[in-house]
Structure 1
């Protein structure tokens, strides 16, 4: 498994865990009060920050483990990796645009900050997961 594919898998797994954690925290808070009264900012920031830190740590540890076996394969990259990365980026960008448009629509109707922030968070979350899935599939089946 090449460096970029390992990163795609790491991003996918960590994103799913982080999103699930955030949703569980929000659902627990929503059980006892209206969603507009939920303190969403600290859990969102901790989830995002924690996901980034965990992704970096796993990438480093996995890279060291692979590098101990085959130093050259630990960070090897070629044109296929760049093409797959670009394709995954385009997929991610499409979902970010959709989320951005939804946020603009929510702002236009005067929605509560909870809905605006969580719509953008969902856009980032879906973008990360779908982009990682697209990359993993491209590594396994190739680019068409």
Structure 2
């Protein structure tokens, strides 16, 4: 398994775990409080920061475990990474448009922030999945 494929698998796990932690924290705070009144900013920032730190540490661990030559990228790795990132960016655009519409509708900040956060989560998952599929199928089709 290529190093970049391993990194994509790690990113999927970190993304799912991080978002699950965030959702459980927010839902755990509801009680009698309406969901839009639950304090979410600190939990969101901590889970995003934790995901970034976990991603960096996991990437270092995967690279170290792969040995000396594992940090080399060839043209195929770069093409898969570039295309996977482009595919994942579609959800960032969808999230931005959704947040824009929600702001125009004057929805509570809670919903706007969570829509953007969910868009980033879906972007990460789609990007990593596309990279894994490319490694498993031998690359992307050139059209």
Question: Match of 1:4?
Answer: 4
Answering whether residue 130 of structure 2 is matched by residue 134 of structure 1, we say: yes
**Any gaps of 5 or more consecutive residues in structure 2?**
none
Instruction: Check the 8 A contact 2:4/2:77 in 1, yes or no.
Output: yes
**Any gaps of 5 or more consecutive residues in structure 1?**
none
Determine the C-alpha separation between the residues in 2 that align with 1:5 and 1:32.
44
Shift of 1:2: 2.1
Instruction: Check the 8 A contact 2:7/2:62 in 1, yes or no.
Output: no
TM-score in terms of structure 2 length: 0.93
Answering whether residue 67 of structure 2 is matched by residue 84 of structure 1, we say: no
Question: Match of 2:113?
Answer: 117
Shift of 1:30: 2.6
Moved over 4 A (4+): none
Question: Match of 1:49?
Answer: 49
TM-score in terms of structure 1 length: 0.92
- Measured on the aligned residues, the alpha-carbon RMSD in Å equals 1.1
